[in-house]
Homo-oligomer: A and B are copies of this chain.
């Protein structure tokens, strides 16, 4: 394959009307991919919901795969933006953590369960159509939390003896698991209460190991020693 003589791809149209089209397709594409997953989503359905021709979709996106990637990208950007916009940076690390968890849960549950599933599903199968850019997207998505945790470590509020990655899993893991339960069972939950509960559960694990407890343990040990010798 002579890359220099690569077939020239038709460029997507430009202009203000075109931008609106792109936004429309992305919006509906998000709906459909969210509802059906990558494989079961069809370009037909996307086009029909917009009352446009299927061919038009391909005028603006090189193919199904590219469209789906853009959908996910946009969604990530929104979440990141939402968090960065309203994160109460003056509040305590714990409160900021609560905010992040709550915001995630909210965005997921309000409109994103399907997208969440999409990302999780498609990111995890070999031979997938979606593939290359995934790891990078995944990384960006956790940036706000990572930064918060880093700040927490610097401030001494979050333990330093555990790698950030592991702490991140400690937060996102239960969160996503909760979300799945919602998706699977269809049971409704109280988002804010759940966020609060979750952080309450997690916080002790994230904190620097309790100094008071350490000292008391030492004390007990010494006493036991003394008493044993008595």
Contact = CB atoms under 8 A, between A and B. Distances in A.
Interface of A: 1, 3-5, 7-8, 10-11, 35-37, 39-40, 42, 44-45, 48, 113-114, 116-118, 120-128, 134-135, 138, 162, 165-166, 169-170, 172-178, 180-181, 183-186, 197-198, 201-202, 204-205, 210, 212-213, 216-217, 219-220, 223
Contact of A40 (B125, B165, B170, B180): B125
Given A7-B45, A40-B127, A125-B35, A178 B184 contact: no
A172 B172 CA distance: 11
A81 to B, nearest CB: 23
Contacts of A177: 169, 172-173, 176-177
Contacts of A175: 173
Copies in the complex: 4
Contacts of A118: 125
B181 A169 contact: yes
Contact of A39 (B35, B40, B120): B40
A117 B121 contact: yes
Contacts of A180: 120, 123-124
Contacts of A125: 35-37, 40, 114, 117-118, 121
A180 B176 CA distance: 12
A134 B184 contact: yes
Q: Which of A114, A117, A121, A186 has the most CB of B within 10 A?
A: A121
A126 B39 contact: no
17 contacts: A4-B35, A4-B126, A7-B45, A7-B127, A35-B125, A36-B125, A37-B125, A37-B127, A40-B128, A120-B124, A123-B180, A123-B183, A169-B174, A169-B178, A173-B174, A201-B205, A216-B217
Given A40-B127, A120-B120, A124-B184, 14 more contacts: A7-B45, A7-B127, A8-B44, A113-B124, A120-B124, A121-B122, A165-B181, A166-B201, A173-B173, A174-B174, A202-B205, A205-B205, A216-B216, A216-B220
